[in-house]
């Protein structure tokens, strides 16, 4: 099936869609699943696809497998002959995730007699900050088979960092919580030649950006880290005009509930104090995006055994540390025991330490991992259902 998966992946890659509405991708998935013995439903708040496969030996146990479908805004610069050309890009590998889950659906459908339960296939739009998992959970994906899923699993490809074909995972915290700090600093504009007659928001905003970095290093334990990155800052229209206001946004990442709560409180205090010292007003809000992604330890150990038997123990790698990236699969793992793992898709011959990382306009993912990814997803479902039903595990 590898050639068909490559064809599907490249077709999706050429036409990325952003956010909760991905109708072309949805249709590609529906077309690929059409001949299979699945109970298929689509979303109402988003163009999701949920497919339920009933095992022939089902006792009601359920495993959920998830793939995200959305791309990112940005101009692709890979030079691939199937590159996108419309200002959007599959820079995070979701086209591979979608294709691998379709492959798993094909494998599982051809092995229904081995399934000691049911499998829910979760094709999700809007992972990149649009809350797609939340919408799908609200629409009932976790109970799509008629009862709450017993375990959940997802694979995420990496264009760098990992050697090609390596499956990497860890017990406990896998990825950070992610919030967005939004700050508007309000002053009074004026002429650049007479700043004493205005209330200039720009110097205060610059102080806030620097002070937030000092706050991270001086107010938080290095072993319970916090990362704040100001990625957007806007003020003014011309060099000799003092603007009325300035605005910036920062990504805020943390790894524990205590740090997550405290970083928001302290950030607001720091920014508010600087504004007051300059005689300015300020609006601050911390917008939650994703919670901490936490893998269930038992599910990770089970996955390790599956990968070892299917691909070989040399293809498994324990991650020493979590990643500071964030994932809305965390919402699924908050409700269902499960795990997310990474699959190295760095092109053969490229140096994983130097290759462009996910979200880069130059990120390239190797099609060669598609069949292995599909096999890992399918085999996890088969063996996890057997284990849940009291049959032999891996």
Task: Kindly list the domain boundaries of the chain, sorted by start residue.
Answer: 2-174+292-388, 177-290
At how many degrees (to 10) do helices 94-109 and 370-388 cross?
A: 50
* pLDDT for the residue numbered 392: 62
* pLDDT for the residue numbered 390: 82
Measured between alpha carbons, how far is residue 383 from residues 3, 120, 214 in Å? 26, 15, 49
Helices (H), the chain: 2-14, 23-33, 94-109, 132-138, 201-219, 257-277, 297-310, 330-335, 370-388
* pLDDT for the residue numbered 214: 96
* pLDDT for the residue numbered 379: 97
- pTM given for the model: 0.89
What is the C-alpha separation between 4 and 19, in angstroms, rounded? 26
Can you tell me whether residue 152 is helix, strand or coil? Answer: strand
Q: If one looks up domain 177-290 in CATH, what number appears? A: 3.30.70.360
From 153, 126, 155, 157, select the one nearest 139 (Cα to Cα): 126
Q: Is the dihedral of CA 324, 328, 329, 331 positive or negative?
A: positive
Stretches in the chain below the pLDDT threshold 70: 392-394
* pLDDT for the residue numbered 256: 87
* pLDDT for the residue numbered 393: 53
Domain 2-174+292-388 has CATH 3.40.50.300: no
């Amino acid at each position: 099936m590898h050639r068909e998966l490559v064809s599907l992946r490249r077709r999706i890659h050429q036409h990325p869609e952003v956010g909760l509405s991905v109708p072309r991708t949805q249709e590609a998935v529906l077309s690929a699943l059409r001949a299979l013995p699945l109970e298929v439903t689509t979303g109402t708040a988003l163009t999701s696809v949920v497919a339920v496969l009933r095992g022939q030996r089902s006792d009601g146990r359920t495993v959920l497998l998830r793939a995200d479908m959305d791309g990112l805004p940005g101009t692709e610069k890979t030079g691939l002959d199937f590159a996108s050309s419309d200002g959007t890009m599959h820079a995070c590998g979701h086209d591979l995730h979608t294709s691998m889950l379709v492959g798993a659906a094909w494998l599982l459908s051809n092995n229904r007699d081995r399934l000691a339960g049911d499998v829910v296939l979760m094709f999700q739009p809007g992972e990149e900050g649009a809350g797609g998992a939340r919408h799908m959970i609200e629409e009932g994906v976790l109970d799509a088979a008629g009862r709450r899923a017993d375990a959940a699993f997802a694979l995420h490809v990496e264009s760098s960092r990992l050697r090609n074909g390596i499956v990497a995972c860890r017990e406990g915290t896998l990825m950070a919580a992610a919030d967005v700090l939004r700050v508007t600093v309000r002053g009074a504009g004026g002429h650049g030649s007479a700043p004493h007659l205005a209330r200039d928001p720009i110097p205060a905003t610059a102080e806030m950006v620097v002070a937030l970095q000092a706050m991270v290093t001086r107010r938080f334990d290095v072993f319970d880290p916090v990362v704040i990155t100001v990625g957007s800052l806007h003020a003014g229209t011309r060099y000799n005009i003092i603007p009325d206001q300035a605005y910036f946004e920062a990504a805020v990442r943390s790894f524990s509930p205590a740090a997550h709560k405290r970083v928001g409180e302290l950030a607001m205090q720091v920014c508010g104090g600087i504004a007051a010292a300059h005689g300015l007003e300020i609006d601050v809000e911390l917008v939650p995006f994703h919670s901490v992604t936490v893998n269930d330890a038992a599910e990770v150990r089970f996955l390790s055994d599956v990968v070892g038997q299917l691909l070989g123990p040399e293809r498994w790698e324990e991650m020493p540390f979590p990643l500071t990236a964030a994932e809305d699969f965390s919402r699924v793992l908050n409700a269902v025991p499960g795990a997310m793992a990474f699959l190295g898709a760095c092109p053969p011959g490229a140096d994983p330490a130097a290759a462009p990382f996910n979200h880069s306009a130059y990120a390239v993912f190797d099609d060669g991992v598609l069949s292995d990814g599909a096999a890992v997803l399918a085999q996890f479902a088969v063996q996890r259902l057997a284990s849940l039903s009291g049959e032999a595990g891996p």
